[in-house]
Each structure stands twice: as C-alpha cells, then as structure tokens.
Structure 1
C-alpha cells in the first residue's frame, strides 16, 4: 500500500472510532508513494500500439519493404502489399505497432494517389474546391480499413477526414454565398472561426469516446487518444490565429507580435494544460509548447530584458515547464480533480 492509501484507511477507521497513535515519517513510505505516482503516470495514458520489441522489429521490416516497393513500382504496386500485410499482421496476428504503420501507409497512399488525380485540375479549381476534392478521397478507404481490421487509428483518421471535409465545405459555401475569397487575409477571422468550430466538434467526439471508457481498458480509449492528438493542435492554433488577427496578424517569426498577444497566447496555453490535466491527456500540453516558446521570446524582446540569447532562454523556460508538469503530473491532477464537482470527475479517468 502506498502512503496515501494508508492515510485514507486511517481516516476511514477514525470516522468509526478506531484511532492510531502518531507515526514517525517514513522515508521508505515517501519513496513508495513517489514510485506509485510514477507508475500511475505511466499507466494513465498508455495507448496500446507498442507491446514489445517484436512489434518494433516487424514494423521496421514493414516500413523498409513499403519504401522499397514504392520506389520500384509506385502506389499501384504498394497497395496490394499494404492490404496483404494487414491480413497477416493485423487481422491474424493482431500486432499493434505494425497496424499503426500500415494505417499510416494507407493514408500516405490515399493522399498521394488523390493528389495525382486532382492535380490535373490545379489551374482550373479554386483552393477550396481543390482541397475538398483532395480530402474526399480519404473517408471510404479509411472506413473500409477500419471495418476490416478494427485499427483505432483508422477510425480516428476517418473522423478527422470527415471533420476536415465539413470545414472545407462550409468555407466553400461561405465563398459562394458571400462572394469572397478566403485566400485573402481580410477574411482570416472567418477561416479561424470555422476551423475552431470543427476542432470543437472533434474534441467533443474524442471526449465521448473517453467518457465511455473511463478505465481506459478498451480500444475506445485508443481512438480517443488519436482524436485528442488531432483536436488539441487544431483548437490551439485556431485560437492563436484569432489572437494574431486582433493584432494585425503579426506572428512570432516576423517579430511583429506584441506583448499583449504574447500574454494572451500564454493564457491560452495555460488553459490547454489545465484541460489536459483534467481529462488526463498530454496532447493538450505538448500542442502548446511551440506557441509558449514564441510567447516567452516575444515577452523578453518587448520588455527590453538585457539578455543576449532570447531563443535559449525560451527553450529553457519551455523545458522547465514540461519537466515540472511531467514529474508532478499525478499530484497536479489530484489537486485539480479535487476542485471539480463529483458529477464531472466520476465520468473521467480517475486520479490515483
């Protein structure tokens, strides 16, 4: 038992009239508690796509074979091999990491093949029409692949592709109905808002999968993992895009981002980290690191701090933030979860 479990048991027995004398602090118990937190942090978000070095070895072979065949025969030679390997490695042997590699290979095949066909109309089609035609090639192959092999990444990819198609279709409808060109910077806010709505829909779908498996013991949790991995950066950068619009669309890289813009970005990143702690998904922490570094660099630059190497200071600050959150993930999560009502925490992955 960990030290925290012992203290909970003592409180339970004390409520029933059974008390214990004071116990001296035990360094070994503290170490056990720290080890328990470390194991809990490892187990709290563990998508099942690496089960051993055998999976890694087979995946290396899959990647090397597909690269070689792609160079020799192109996409039309590669597709039968992808499906043949999926029958052996995914459907029969149920290997986890090779299933991810083969799903990624299928996505690459669909993307490359679709581009071959739609590029013939590159000069005639507007960007939104081109994007819609390109994205429309993804749902059916991914849906069939998931139906046959039940790979969570394929299901997540299907949902992401549908979300992207919906976003592009809405943007195309705006262009046609309002008579505008969204490639023009003057309409960037409309673009960012539409992407934000699509990202919120993707996040809601991911949360539905998460709350349906709070113990994270089924493939639904893996699907939620991949969906969060796509939703987190989409949400973040649509919000950051709106911050850029409010300040003349200055970015971190052109040196035109203002101090208020940097502070807003830091607040958004902090909010995402808080969301990540609540739902126990680290994608919401990692997705904001680039923006956090850019915001810190901008703040140092705008405040006239006497530092010669802003970039290295920003790297150090981001690294310290990542290490702090990573090391104390479970303790921070317990603090946050204790502040929330039970009606919310009961549906989420439990804090140890």
Structure 2
C-alpha cells in the first residue's frame, strides 16, 4: 500500500505525471465510494519487515540504555546517590539517542521504513530528554547549595525550572531530528514537550495551580488542536507529509482535550447519575460533530472509554444489570459502525451547517472527471 505522500513524491520525481496520479486517486475514490481524504491515511507499516526491524531496533536500544548507563556510572557516578542516578541517565540516555540517530540514518533516511522511523524518533527524543534530565539530577546537590535551596517551596520551584529547561532542550532536540529526517510524528513529540515546559513552569511558580491541572491540560489540548488544524488546512487534499504531521498532532491533542473534560465532570469518581451519564453522551455527540467537521477520528477514540462507562451506568441502573456490559458494547459498537458507514453523508451535513468555514476544511466529496 502506498501513502498519499509517496504518491506525491513520485509525481515530484517525475515517475508519475500529475494526470496519472489524479486518475489513480479518482479510481480508488470511485471503487471505495469515498473521497480519499475521508480514509484518513497515515503510514505505519510498509510491510512485515517494518515489524521485524522495529523489534530488532528495540532490542538494540534496550541494550544501549543498559550498557550506556553502566559506562556512565563507571565514569562519572562516583559520589552521592543523585550523582550515581544522574550518571546512569546521562550514559544510558546518550547511548540511546546516539544509537537511534545512527540507525535512523539508514532505516529512515535511506529505507524510509515507517514503524522503525517512529520508534527511532521516540528513542532519540527519550534518550535526549533522559540525558538532559540526568545532567541536572547529577548536580542537584551543587544546585541546592549554590542557590541556597532550603524550603519545600524553593525545592518545588527548582524542580519545575529543571523540568522546564529539560523539556525545552528536548523539544529543541526533536526539532533538530525533524530538520534531518522529517518523520511526521516528530512535530507532535515536540508539541508535547512544549506543553510539558509550560505546565512545569506554571506549577513551579504557582504551586496552587496543581488544583487546576485539568483546565490547564484542556487549554494545552486546544492549542495543540489549533496547531493540528493549521497543518491540516495547509493540505486540504491530504496528499503530502503535512497531512501525516496533522494526524499525529490530532492524536496528541485528543487525550489532552477529552480526559480533562470528563475528569472535571467526575465521570470516574463513583456511580454517576443518569443526568450526568446523559451529559457525557451528549458531549460525545459534540465530539463526533467536531470529528466529522475536521475529518479526524482521534477525538472519538480518546473519549470512547467515558461514553462506554456512561452507557454502562445507564444500563446498570435499569432492570438489565446482568446484561449491562453486553448491551453497552452492542449499542456503542453499532453506533460507531453506523457512523463509519455513513461518515460521508453525515460529514456533508455537518460541514454544510458551517457555512463559509467549510471551505477551509477538507472537501466532502472528490470530483471525478468525466
């Protein structure tokens, strides 16, 4: 299976003419009775070899982490416990980051293998983050003494500043990786690192903000969603790498939006009431409308567990206690399959209600030339 970005690359390389590529897209759209954009393509596997390479790469990265941690402790881990822990993180993180980059030079830059590229990107970002955090942890005694950190509040602020600086440097490492390899998930990883920086700074200087963590996460989710829409609107036909970047950004934004909303409602605080269950289901309908409008399903997946719990509660409070789980699965499964089967007409209806805004969203139908 070939992705839209690969098809566009073939046109740019002169392998296919633009007319031939358009004819192929139209043929696929006709055979599937759906616009290409509605399929929400993203490249994860190009073949079983991707899985094979990903498993091998994961084993190598685990080994690199352990060996690098051992070398780090041996070289610079002499001293107190924070220094030993930091040395382990520095050695292990640096080994993972370096190994991930070297492997990416072949499997990402040359072979363009999707799943290994994602794994190696995550390995590089995690390794870089661990290395940076290890540098701070190893020097905590020195930082505490130098800046005269004595109270709990000062310690909390120091931890927040360290987390923010580490997050910012990790986001910078993700940007460097993006400039070299342009793996679509990199932008989402960088966005989450920036979110971590913001939250760390807020908690460092406003300790009482921990009681408002859900609203903070919700705001962060909306901002990431806006960034995803910016990438999406730059490629409405979803034929380039920008669409893949938007997919991963939507996947990052969805839990940041859904989880805080439902947690603020107290969905899992106990047996929810019937009105509250109805409100959860109503919110899921709103999320479905948003998903239809932007033609992305991530928000529906992230909030699915909450509507399942709400529906289960409704059945559990009726006379069908024994069958509540089965009935919940039947109703929600049927609703989701219906939504999938009638995605195109439902989406045309939702986008039609948006007026001029609909022109800035992915098209609701693909024009097939006569």
Could you tell me how far apart the structure 1 residues matched to 2:36 and 2:262 are?
29
Q: Secondary structure at the match of 1:126?
A: helix
User: Gapped runs of 5+ residues in structure 1?
Assistant: 1-31, 245-250
Name the residue aligned to 1:297.
312
Contact 1:89 1:95 survives alignment (8 Å): yes
Distance 1:226 1:47 in 2: 9
Residue in 2 aligned with 1:163?
195
The reply to whether residue 102 of structure 1 matches residue 120 of structure 2 is: yes
Deviation at 1:289, TM superposition (A): 0.7
| Preserved CA contact (<8 Å) 2:38 2:344 | no
Query: After the TM superposition, which residues 26-37 of structure 1 pair with which residues of structure 2 at under 5 Å, given as runs?
Result: 35-37=31-33
**Count of residues paired in the alignment:** 301
- 1:154 aligned onto 2:162: no
2:284 matches 1:269: yes
User: Which deviates the most, 192-201 or 113-122?
Assistant: 113-122
Deviation of the 1:118 alpha carbon: 5.7
1:330 paired residue number: 344
CA contact (8 A) 1:171 1:194 kept: no
Task: Judge conservation of contact 2:280–2:306 (CA < 8 Å) in 1.
Answer: yes
Identify if the C-alpha distance between structure 1 residues 164 and 212 changes in structure 2 by more than 3 Å, giving closer, same or farther: same
Summarize deviations over 1:1-55 as a string: whole Å, max 9, x none: xxxxxxxxxxxxxxxxxxxxxxxxxxxxxxx999533x54786311134333443
Residue 230 of structure 1, aligned match among 252, 258, 275: 252
Q: Is the 2:45–2:115 Cα contact (8 Å) retained in structure 1? A: yes
> What is the CA distance between 1:110 and its match in structure 2?
3.6
1:244-323 mapped onto 2 (5 Å cutoff): 244=266, 251-252=267-268, 254-301=269-316, 303-323=317-337
Bigger relative CO (Cα 8 Å, ≥ 6 apart): 2
Query: How far is 1:213 from its partner?
Result: 0.6
State the partner residue of 1:126: 156
Name the structure 2 match of 1:88.
106
Aligned 8 A contact 1:100 1:151 in 2: yes
Contact 2:37 / 2:238 at 8 angstroms: preserved in 1? no
Preserved contact between residue 90 and residue 149 of structure 1 (Cα < 8 Å): yes
Q: CA offsets per residue over residues 84-122 of structure 1, 9 Å max, x none?
A: 111112223333332112112223324544554566669
Among 337, 347, 351, the residue aligned to 2:360: 347
SS at match of 2:265: helix
The alignment's C-alpha RMSD in Å is 3.0
Unaligned runs of 5+ in 2: 1-27, 70-91, 142-150, 366-370
Task: Report what 2:95 is aligned to.
Answer: 77
Deviation at 1:61, TM superposition (A): 2.9
How far 1:309 moved relative to its partner? 4.0
- Counterpart of 1:28 in structure 2 is none
Q: Displacement, 1:66?
A: 2.4
Q: Contact (CA 8 Å) 1:79, 1:106: kept in 2 or not?
A: yes
